[in-house]
Structure 1
């Protein structure tokens, strides 16, 4: 399983936004410059992240973007779900097409698998990704 590029870019964008915590607001253009992502992509992501309640946008003089809640209270799962929707490794849990659904012995356990995946991503706070140094 691999996340979409948009989900990857959302995590990168939110990590950059988190590095502005305490330093005032930033802009989508600034986040694009800092991350090297195309400005239209960052603008699209900002829209989704604001709609999900992860970023706050303020208009006017002194306006800009800031995290909507503390970085420690935002997880990778929150960011991915803001862009991709619910995290699921197994599509059959939400009615996805499957040719073996009628004989599948794994489907009853799909919630367990999907929950474990979401739990792993929920356990990674944005504060950890916003650090400049890598911590394993």
Structure 2
């Protein structure tokens, strides 16, 4: 499994926002300049993250984007799902009827929800705060 560029960029933008004082606002232009994410992409992602309830936006002078809740209460799963949609590992396990040549004989399909839930659980266990601190040599900082 690999995150798309958009999901990766969303994580980068969210960590930049999380490093600010609580309630501190940033424009998409400031976030793009700070992170290197192209401005049109930053604008698109900030809109998606706001729509998912992870960011709040205020228009006008003094406006900008800020985290909608404390960074400790936002998980990597929240960010990925805001951009990618529900975390599923196969097309047939997303609850939609996908055409698959193996569907009539597949014994794995009923179990893929369990696998997807395990992956989501692992991503859910990574709070945004842990992505804002320096990484330790062995993995994520705690």
TM range (shorter): over 0.9
- Which of structure 1's runs of 4+ aligned residues deviate more than 4 A? none
Distance 1:23 1:111, change over 3 A: closer
**Contact 1:16–1:31 under 8 Å retained in 2:** yes
**Contact 1:21–1:67 under 8 Å retained in 2:** no
Structure 2: state its 5+ residue gaps.
none
Alignment of 1:1-136 (within 5 A): 1-22=1-22, 24-93=24-93, 94=95, 95-131=97-133, 133-135=134-136, 136=139
Whole-angstrom distance in 2 between the partners of 1:69 and 1:56: 9
TM-score of the superposed pair, with normalisation by structure 1: 0.94
TM-score of the superposed pair, with normalisation by structure 2: 0.90
Once structures 1 and 2 are overlaid, which stretch shifts more, 5-14 or 23-32? 23-32
Number of equivalent positions = 135
Structure 1 or 2: more helix by fraction: 1
